[in-house]
Structure 1
Amino acid sequence: MDLSKQLHQGLVEMGLDLSDARQAAMIDYVNLLDKWNQAFNLSAVRDPRDMVSRHLLDSLSLLPRIRELSTGKADFNILDVGTGPGLPGIPLALSLPGINFVLLDSNGKKTRFVFQAVMALGLKNVKVEHARIESYQSTGQLDIVVSRAFSSLADFALGCEHLCGPDTRLLAMKGLYPTEEIRDLPVHWQPVDARAIDIPQCDAQRHMIELQLTRR
């Protein structure tokens, strides 16, 4: 099965409807990542077929919740913390052209790739930032902060806290259900949603944990 058919089949299984042009752009991204990865070791995932399932489809599993949170809202802003080679930010930005994205990472090698990918894909709704989350200052209200990279929910919440208002939601992608991490959250951060997510072509367990700041 070629990559385009693999992606299309996965989207059908997930109940996601994306245009042919957006799907083609995502395959262009995978091909670019594969090319750069051979020289610069940007991702531990080496096989482009695995990139479709473990990178694209995994990232796109956030789409339903983001659409729920952003419906009817203008000037919606999402920050992707620890984006690495642009995940989940680039697949989400390709799918949601009306939403503003900032893709943040402290690794200059990875942000250079992300910048090149954003330029190659013609993404007008993405800004790339090379910085640590602790030192990053947003120029506007953040509606959602997403991450696949943090080792613990507490680190994610505390690292982003200076950027969050009462309506900001954190969406963290985790593997096994993080019972201990939820228990160890600071008292002013509360989980408001936790969903098991089935990623087609991927056997690993995945969960989306949604957090909200209850007080500053």
Structure 2
Amino acid sequence: MSIEKQLLEGLNKLEVGLSEERERISTHLAQYILFLDKWNRIHNLTAVRKPEEMVTKHVLDSLTLLPIISGTHHADVGAGAGLPGIPLAIARPDWHLTLIESNQKKAAFLKQACIELALKNVEVVCERAERFFPSEKFDTVISRAFADLLTFVKSAAHLCTKNGKSRLIAMKGRFPDAELMQLPEQFEVEKVLRVMVPGLRAARHLIVIKPDLENRD
């Protein structure tokens, strides 16, 4: 089965809408996977080596965020190889994604990927999240394989607005009991969602956190 067909089948199984756009999205996502695979052979951007495994473990996993994100201005902290930021940007060209990555090699890949994939709605920032102070705050700040929850909220909460509408979302594997207990009271765990990724048996959870920045220490 081709990568594109595998993606299309996965999109059809995910409850993410976008029914009229799925063929376009699948084609564009396949281009991203092939570009990532090309770079990964030299620069070791991800431990997942096979493109067909990238479909499930990386891309479809990233797209489980689509139904729970509100707003149009989002940040991906510790973007790495562009996950979940690039798949989200491809699926939703009406959103603007800022990919924050401190590693220069990975940031260079992200910038080149945006050129190769003609992603006009993506900005790459080569900086540590805690040192990045944008003029405009974000509706959603996302982390995937970035850090534990406490480190994530401490590093990235300042990227949220103070109007109570922004959310921090952490993508996790197993249910992170211990990490949740370490969160300060200023960070309300609004919901924990168990998500199913087509073709993947491993556990996946999305942790949605509402930051109270007015009362933050």
Whether TM-score is above 0.5 comes out as: yes
Residue number in structure 1 paired with 2:211:
213
Tell me if the contact between 2:171 and 2:205 (Cα under 8 Å) persists in the aligned partners: yes
Residue number in structure 2 paired with 1:139:
135
SS at the partner of 2:119?
coil
TM-score by length of 1: 0.93
What pairs with 1:108-123 in structure 2 (closer than 5 Å)? Answer: 108-123=104-119
1:35 aligns with 2:38: yes
Bigger drift between 145-154 and 52-61 goes to 145-154
Tell me if the contact between 1:60 and 1:91 (Cα under 8 Å) persists in the aligned partners: yes
Which residue of the other structure, out of 190, 193, 217, is the alignment partner of 1:192? Answer: 190
Could you tell me which amino acid in structure 2 is paired with residue 91 of structure 1?
P
Residue number in structure 2 paired with 1:25:
28
TM-score by length of 2: 0.93
Could you tell me which amino acid in structure 2 is paired with residue 61 of structure 1?
T
TM-aligned CA deviation for residue 163 of structure 1: 2.0
1:79 aligns with 2:40: no
1:88 aligns with 2:88: no
Residue number in structure 2 paired with 1:10:
10
Tell me if the contact between 1:142 and 1:163 (Cα under 8 Å) persists in the aligned partners: yes
SS at the partner of 1:202?
coil
Could you tell me which amino acid in structure 1 is paired with residue 60 of structure 2?
L
TM-aligned CA deviation for residue 151 of structure 1: 2.6
SS at the partner of 2:135?
coil
Residue number in structure 2 paired with 1:173:
171
* Moved beyond 4 Å, runs of 4+: none
Quick one: distance in 2 between partners of 1:161 and 1:198?
27
Tell me if the contact between 1:81 and 1:149 (Cα under 8 Å) persists in the aligned partners: no
Quick one: distance in 2 between partners of 1:27 and 1:83?
19
Identity of aligned residues (%): 41
SS at the partner of 1:146?
strand
1:61 aligns with 2:61: no
Unaligned runs of 5+ in 1: 71-75
TM-aligned CA deviation for residue 167 of structure 1: 1.9
Quick one: distance in 2 between partners of 1:103 and 1:194?
24
Tell me if the contact between 2:63 and 2:87 (Cα under 8 Å) persists in the aligned partners: yes
Residue number in structure 2 paired with 1:73:
none
CA gap 1:161/1:15 in 2 versus in 1, 3 angstroms: closer
Q: Deviations over 1:166-211 (max 9, x none)?
A: 3210111001111111111011111001100001111110000000
Could you tell me which amino acid in structure 2 is paired with residue 93 of structure 1?
A
Residue number in structure 2 paired with 1:156:
152
Quick one: distance in 2 between partners of 1:134 and 1:124?
25
